[in-house]
């Protein structure tokens, strides 16, 4: 069940205008109405992505033409007031922010840039704050002498928002954003650039993750969201488990390529097996994991998943050729993100169970430590 404030009997649309100013009383009232919308699914294991989509749809239905303002103000408030300095909550809250960012895909570009910048600054504030800090990091990027429009919003309300969003997005993946705040800030900087700068399509291959982040991908977003998944699984840890530099580069490239294909394909095939995601994990250093996975049943399941992934990528390439010139291509990539992460999360946890259930440490064919164990 999603957490929410006490339901309000008021019509949410009656109070949509209050989000433009967010006085304490009106914001609290609006929050009650907002969280009373029927946006939650009972079984989050299979429905977190659809919950967020339903969340978006219900806001649109309830607030009508005011929906874009409501969503933007809701996210602005969350970033400015509810973003904590405490490191223990940062991971889940950034996950929630990412989910809400996806709701802004139809907003004007300047609004998206403004939100990405605010989020990056909030992440930076959290990085600079004391690890023992328990209070919220308040304030947007205010000019000298400018009043903080959210200064009067109570910390309790901010915590309520955080709890609601955290529960909404918790079933995604607990490593959706790495715990390294510097890396997280870099990811949001890439988001800001992606929304702000008209760029060229990224090349088919990258030497490393930093090259990918530096690209301003404007016309098709799968590469960017692939970067988000790569960051989410903490490639610093992943690559650190492999001692050979060439293998490290191959590992990073494989993650990017597989995640990109998986991200788009998951949008096309909503009922794909979670073992397709396991195949993505296995593709990091193929084929050593299959050769050394220990139990025959594990080897067979991963091999089957690789076959599924091969078919999936073939379909992805076919669909990609059909869709890449279509006007909706960027929207398709954005809409696929949450759904792709949901499948990816299921596969990730499944792979962890498979690998750790057979043995503690696996060695690849050339003696390198299997990086899955570093992620586990």
What per-residue confidence (pLDDT) applies to 368?
26
What per-residue confidence (pLDDT) applies to 188?
45
User: 336-354: per-residue pLDDT in tens?
Assistant: 433 333 333 333 333 333 3
Confidence category of residue 72, pLDDT binned at 50, 70, 90: low
Question: Which of residues 65 and 250 earns the better pLDDT score?
Answer: 65
User: 240-281: per-residue pLDDT in tens?
Assistant: 332 333 333 333 333 333 333 333 333 333 323 333 333 333
What per-residue confidence (pLDDT) applies to 214?
34
Q: What is the DSSP string of 3-28?
A: --PPP--S-GGGGGGGGGT--HHHHH
Comparing CA positions, the residue from 303, 234, 235, 316 lying closest to residue 269 is 316
What per-residue confidence (pLDDT) applies to 318?
44
The structure tokens listed for 207 are 């030497």
CB 148 within 8 A of CB 108: no
What per-residue confidence (pLDDT) applies to 357?
34
Highest mean pLDDT among 3-17, 66-80, 141-155: 66-80
Comparing CA positions, the residue from 89, 48, 29 lying closest to residue 346 is 48
Residue 226 has pLDDT above 50, yes or no: no
Residue 56 has pLDDT above 50, yes or no: yes
What per-residue confidence (pLDDT) applies to 65?
66
Question: Which of residues 79 and 287 earns the better pLDDT score?
Answer: 79
Q: What angle do helix axes 109-128 and 67-77 make, rounded to 10 degrees?
A: 10
Q: Which residues contact 300 (CB under 8 A, 6 or more apart)?
A: none
> In percent, how much of the chain has pLDDT > 70?
0
The structure tokens listed for 230 are 């790569």
Give me the residues paired with residue 363 across strands. 369
Residue 64 has pLDDT above 60, yes or no: yes
CA 206, distance to chain mean position in Å, is: 21
Mean pLDDT of 116-138: 41
d(CA 113, CA 99): 16
What per-residue confidence (pLDDT) applies to 254?
36
Q: How far is CA 71 from CA 34, 77, 108, in A?
A: 10, 10, 13
DSSP state of 98: H
Confidence category of residue 115, pLDDT binned at 50, 70, 90: low
Confidence category of residue 74, pLDDT binned at 50, 70, 90: low
> In percent, how much of the chain has pLDDT > 90?
0
Highest mean pLDDT among 156-160, 184-188, 240-244: 184-188
The single residue listed with the structure tokens 């970067």 is: 227
Mean pLDDT of the chain: 38
d(CA 259, CA 329): 17
CA 102, distance to chain mean position in Å, is: 9
Mean pLDDT of 302-323: 44
Comparing CA positions, the residue from 33, 19, 125 lying closest to residue 76 is 19
Alpha helices in 139-202 (DSSP H): 155-169, 181-196
d(CA 374, CA 369): 9
CB 192 within 8 A of CB 111: no
Confidence category of residue 59, pLDDT binned at 50, 70, 90: low
What per-residue confidence (pLDDT) applies to 300?
54
What per-residue confidence (pLDDT) applies to 73?
56
Comparing CA positions, the residue from 314, 269, 284, 295 lying closest to residue 353 is 295
What per-residue confidence (pLDDT) applies to 114?
55
What per-residue confidence (pLDDT) applies to 30?
42
């Amino acid at each position: 069940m999603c957490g929410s404030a006490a339901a309000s009997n008021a019509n949410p649309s009656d109070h949509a205008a209050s989000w433009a100013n967010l006085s304490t009383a009106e914001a609290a009232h609006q929050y009650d109405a907002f969280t009373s919308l029927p946006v939650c699914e009972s079984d989050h294991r299979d429905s977190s992505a659809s919950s967020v989509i339903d969340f978006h749809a219900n806001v649109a239905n309830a607030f009508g033409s005011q929906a874009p303002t409501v969503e933007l103000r809701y996210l602005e408030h969350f970033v400015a007031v509810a973003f904590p300095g405490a490191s223990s909550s940062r991971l889940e809250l950034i996950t929630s922010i990412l989910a809400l960012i996806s709701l802004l895909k139809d907003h004007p570009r300047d609004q998206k840039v403004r939100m990405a910048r605010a989020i990056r600054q909030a992440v930076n504030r959290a990085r600079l704050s004391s690890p023992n800090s328990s209070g919220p990091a308040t304030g947007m990027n205010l000019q000298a002498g400018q009043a903080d429009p959210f200064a009067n919003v109570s910390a309790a309300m901010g915590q309520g928002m955080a709890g609601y969003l955290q529960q909404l997005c918790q079933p995604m993946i607990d490593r959706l954003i790495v715990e390294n705040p510097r890396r997280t800030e870099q990811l949001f900087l890439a988001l800001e650039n992606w929304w702000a700068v008209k760029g060229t399509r990224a090349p088919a291959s990258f030497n490393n993750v930093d090259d990918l982040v530096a690209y301003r991908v404007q016309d098709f977003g799968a590469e960017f969201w692939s970067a988000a998944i790569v960051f989410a699984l903490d490639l610093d840890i992943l690559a650190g488990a492999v001692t050979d530099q060439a293998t490290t580069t191959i590992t990073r490239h494989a993650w990017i390529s597989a995640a990109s294909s998986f991200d788009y394909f998951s949008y096309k095939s909503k009922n794909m097996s979670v073992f397709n995601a396991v195949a993505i994990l296995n593709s990091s250093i193929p084929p050593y994991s299959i050769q050394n996975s220990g139990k025959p049943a594990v080897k067979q399941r991963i091999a089957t998943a690789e076959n599924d992934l091969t078919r999936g990528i073939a379909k992805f390439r076919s669909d990609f050729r059909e869709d890449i010139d279509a006007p909706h291509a960027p929207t398709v990539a954005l809409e696929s993100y949450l759904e792709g992460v949901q499948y990816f999360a299921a596969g990730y946890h499944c792979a962890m169970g498979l690998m750790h259930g057979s043995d503690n440490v696996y060695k690849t064919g050339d003696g390198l430590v299997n990086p899955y164990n570093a992620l586990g």
